Amino acid sequence: MQTNEQGGAEARYQAALNEGRFSIQRCNDCHKHVFYPRVVCPHCGGASLAWVEPKGTGTVYSTTTVRRKPEAGGDYDVSLIDLDEGVRMMSRVEGVPPAEVKIGMRVRAKVVDNKGAGLVVFAAEEAK
């Protein structure tokens, strides 16, 4: 699937998430991965971007805890994740108390339903 198809890159990214699929782009010219969805490769300027399924694994680059009152849902994590493909994305790590999310932690992506829209979140990988 090319990014110049009807609907735009962001719309295609969200449509895939809504179907439970996580995809990022890869430039057919320089072969580098791209995230956030774009029409032109930020690395080489090429306009031939294909959608690919990433491995879904990565490392926490940065993390913070957003504080909320318990009645507002309680504290939650916001992290920058470096995917193994070399792109960075903002998300959250679930299944671990926010204070226990650490820089360097290995994580795995999953798509969850967020009020009817697909959303990429991460879970800590099992220690091996």
Quick: pLDDT tens for 9-41. Answer: 999 999 999 999 999 999 999 999 999 999 999
Domain residue limits, the chain: 8-52, 57-124
How is residue 31 written in tokens?
């072969």
Cβ-count burial of 93 within 10 angstroms (0-12 exposed, 13-18 middle, 19+ buried)?
buried
Alpha-carbon distance 43 to 53, whole Å? Answer: 19
Tens-place pLDDT, residues 65-118: 999 999 998 999 999 999 999 999 999 999 999 999 999 999 999 999 999 999
Amino acid at 13: Y
CB atoms within 10 A of CB 11: 12
| Residue spans of beta strands (DSSP E) within the chain | 24-27, 33-34, 49-52, 57-66, 76-83, 88-91, 93-94, 106-114, 117-124
For residue 18, give the H/E element and its range: helix 8-18
Top-tier CATH class for 57-124: mainly beta
| pLDDT above 60 for 58 | yes
